[in-house]
Amino acid sequence: MRRLMSSSWPSGILAAVVLGVPLGCSVGPHYHAPAPPVVTAYTPDALPKETASSAGPAGAVQTFDSSASVPAQWWTQFHSPELDGMVQQALENSPKLAQASARLKQAQEELKARTGASKYPTAGGNVSVQEEQLNLSAYGIPFPNPSPFTLLNGSVAVSYALDLFGANRHLVEGLRAGKDYEQWQLAGARLMLAGNVVSAAIRQAQLRTQIDLTRQLLAVEQQELEIAEQRQSAGGVSASEVHSRRTALAQLQAALPPLEQQLDAVNDQLAILMGRPPAAAAVAEISLDRLQLPAELPVSLPASLAAQRPDIRAAESLLHQAGANVGVATANLYPQIVLTGGGGAVGTKFISGGDIWNVGFSFAQPIYNGGALRAEKRKAEAQYEEAGAVYRQTVLAALQEVADTLYAIQHDAQTLQARAGAAQEADASTRIAAERYQAGGISRLALLETQRQQLQAELDCTAAIAARFADSATLYQALGGGWWNAARPLAH
């Protein structure tokens, strides 16, 4: 057979003329990135340029700078080698990051496979070798049978689908957006992992300080109880006061095991975040006193936030992919044209045989399918609308997270200022009480009472100190984590 189908018109032009569609057009939407947020601030009212300050750990003033950028390794701003080591181990060993990285590789390879399959023609070759023997007598031919011979058959077939209406282009576009989505998911996983490690490390430091102060309080309560029991024996106080002291001591003792359990749990959490079994992990001890509060905090403009946050970029990629799917569904309403061609030869070891070739095209046009293709197009359009709504919601949630964090930074600084002031007053009261006790002016029980108040004030301060460190870490995360300042940043 010399030719399967022929025409004096090229197949693509023929289809375009028949359908009245401009040659080379691509049906469906053309993607445009969403506009960034138009607001210029995160809160309705302008926040102060700096936070309140206080004496002691984490009491420094923090200022906000809209021109400053988030460092790629933002956790190093706390100046803790132990914390830096934890984050580094987590980024190197986390199974969750390995999962996200594997999903990205899958998306990359799928994109490569479909791009090559749609951009270039497909070709296949076939070669067969058969040993043949003719039995002439079976056909009534009175001649000796010829010797066995080898039959050789070789052919090559080539086909190419004309992407006249952009179905393949939109398909590849969607796969590329899917690859981008997995890339931003990986970036988001790295940011979340680092944030979880920092948050857990700050929590560990807070719990260790709380446990230490609680034990000191227990020692003071125990001494107060012993004095009360001695005074009861001497008839100086009633049994009711002794029972009250024992109740306070028992309540404080009951508060210690939950704190220790929380410390054990947060250490196990840190071990898992670092990709190690709890029994085999050497979790470093973090001290609140050795953490340094960042003095200058970056505050990116809302218009920049959409380009910085991995979750927003991931939502944008899904929106892009949904738009490409609309293009695919639209192109499926139009003809599918495939060019084909092939050539080969048949022969034996003693006869060269002859050449065989063919060239043509196939033309498939949906005529009636019960409205299925148009329904698929409407479905894709609805999914595009859904993706747009998800994107807008993601941006709004990001703006809220930054706003909430900025409020927290201001209010927690004020809380610490008040707590630190109370701790300073309690410390001064304890020093005066110690001097008076040495001079014989007050009893030991009165001295212990001032010491108890001082320890309680320090315990209250601990939560406020930890909150200030946690607020700073949350702001770095809420602004996107500074991936664009890395040595090898992701593509914008």
Mean pLDDT of 283-303: 94
CATH superfamily label, 11-132+145-485: Outer membrane efflux proteins (OEP) (1.20.1600.10)
Q: How far apart are CA 15 and CA 161, in angstroms?
A: 13
Mean pLDDT of 76-94: 96
**Vertex 281: Cα angle to 100 and 213 (nearest 5):** 115
Contact residues for 331 (Cβ-Cβ < 8 A; gap 6+): 26, 27, 28, 165, 166, 167, 170
Strands (E), 66-162: 122-132, 149-162
Q: How far apart are CA 89 and CA 204, in angstroms?
A: 17
Tokens 């399967």 identify what position? Answer: 4
List, in sequence order, every residue forming a beta bridge with 361; answer none if it has no partner.
Answer: 339
Pair 156, 342: CB distance under 8 Å: yes
C-alpha dihedral sign at 384, 388, 393, 398: positive
Q: Is pLDDT at 431 greater than 60 in this prediction?
A: yes
Among candidate residues 270, 275, 311, the one with its CA nearest the CA of residue 399: 311
pLDDT digits (tens, 9 = 90+) for 141-160: 777 777 776 767 777 878 77
Choice among 92-101, 125-134, 430-439, 461-470 with the minimum mean pLDDT: 125-134
DSSP one-letter string for 377-424: HHHHHHHHHHHHHHHHHHHHHHHHHHHHHHHHHHHHHHHHHHHHHHHH
Length of the chain: 492
346-380 burial, b at 16+ Cβ within 10 Å, e below that, comes to beeeeeeeeeeebeebeeeeeeeeeeeeeebbeeb
C-alpha dihedral sign at 391, 393, 399, 402: negative
Q: Is pLDDT at 199 greater than 50 in this prediction?
A: yes
3-class secondary structure, 442: coil
**Vertex 349: Cα angle to 348 and 355 (nearest 5):** 45
106 CB neighbour count, 10 Å cutoff: 13
Among candidate residues 128, 171, 135, 173, the one with its CA nearest the CA of residue 151: 128
Q: Where are the domains of the chain?
A: 11-132+145-485
| H or E element, residue 363 | strand 354-364
User: What predicted TM-score, i.e. pTM, was given to this entire model?
Assistant: 0.85
Per-residue pLDDT at 22: 44
Binning pLDDT at 50, 70 and 90, where does residue 7 land?
very low
Give percent of the chain with pLDDT exceeding 70: 90
Pair 197, 108: CB distance under 8 Å: no
pLDDT digits (tens, 9 = 90+) for 246-258: 999 999 999 999 9
Per-residue pLDDT at 167: 85
Which strands, in side-by-side order, build the sheet including 149-162?
122-132, 149-162, 336-348, 354-364
CA 470 to each of CA 179, 228, 329: distance values in angstroms, whole numbers, following the listed order: 33, 42, 48
